[in-house]
Structure 1
Amino acid sequence: MTDHNSTTCIFCAIIAGHAPASVVHRDDLCMAFMNLRPLHPGEFMVIPLQHIDHFTDLSDDLAAHIMVTGQRLGRWMMQVFAPKRVGYVVHGFGVAHAHLNVLPLRESSDIVSEKHIVQTDAGLRIAHEAVPLRSRSDLNADAAQFLRDQ
């Protein structure tokens, strides 16, 4: 595990006990705590104890451990907060320390891109169809990029 730099990373400060958090889980690889700005009550995040900026830079074993931890706690979320679904988001913005956001979802719009928001006469609305479909040939070309390098 790398040293935590609590002066530059708020998550490292939380890990070191120098900043407050409402912790729901901690083990030798990761910890989970409630999100300060939840969309709905029960939202939390799982972070590695090691300071790693990009989620894709995590080892496969550590990424799997974080996902399994999120899954187990997601089951708890379902029992306690009774959302319709549990969502998992890794976007990498906000804090430069890898984190998995686990969200209680009540509506499909609880995880949505601004690209889905359209203006109508009645105001703003979520429209998944606002994002254009890609052609099958473009999708196949995208898939080929993955397959080429494997």
Structure 2
Amino acid sequence: MACIFCEIVQGRIPCAQVYATDTIMAFLDIAPVRPGHVLVIPKAHYPTIEDIPTDLGNELLTAVQRISVAIRRAVDAQGLNVMMNNHRAAGQLVDHAHFHLIPRHEHDGLQLWPQSAYQTPEQMHKIADSIKAAIG
């Protein structure tokens, strides 16, 4: 099956585009969590954040920042969530890297995820050490 976001980039599927450069595109999500929910994607196909070249990642973050400010102004939001799901286990439904920009209002009832705690400080530090080692 073809990538739906690649089809949008190529103009084969219509979208409500809000931003575009040579390398980045942003458009309204067709199934928004809240009105003004925008998806920001690289135009080139990269499955997850792990696959995006650093230079393009920097461009994407700059676009996310700029569009976030615009969304808050446009829908008079008090806040905004920036989210990215990577891989199926994290809820990624489209295998094309994308950021979700979700405008938020006080008492909007949206709860994104429950919080928990580490069982012990030692467990927390062990996980931190494992991540540091994997970073190199």
The TM-score with structure 2 as length reference comes to 0.86
How many residue pairs align between the two structures? Answer: 128
Structure 1 runs not aligned, ≥5 long: 1-6, 117-127
Provide the rounded CA distance (Å) in 2 between the counterparts of 1:109 and 1:144: 36
Partner of 1:143: 128
- Structure ranking higher on relative contact order (CA contacts 8 Å, 6+ apart): 2
1:1-150 equivalence runs, <5 A: 8-92=2-86, 93-106=92-105, 107=107, 110=110, 112-113=112-113, 116=114, 128=115, 131=116, 133-134=117-118, 135-149=120-134, 150=136
Provide the rounded CA distance (Å) in 2 between the counterparts of 1:25 and 1:111: 28
Shift of the 97–79 alpha-carbon distance from structure 1 to 2, 3 Å rule, reads same
Query: Post-superposition shift, 1:109?
Result: 5.7
Structure 2 runs not aligned, ≥5 long: 87-91
The TM-score with structure 1 as length reference comes to 0.79
Partner of 2:89: none
Root-mean-square deviation (CA, aligned residues, Å) is 1.7
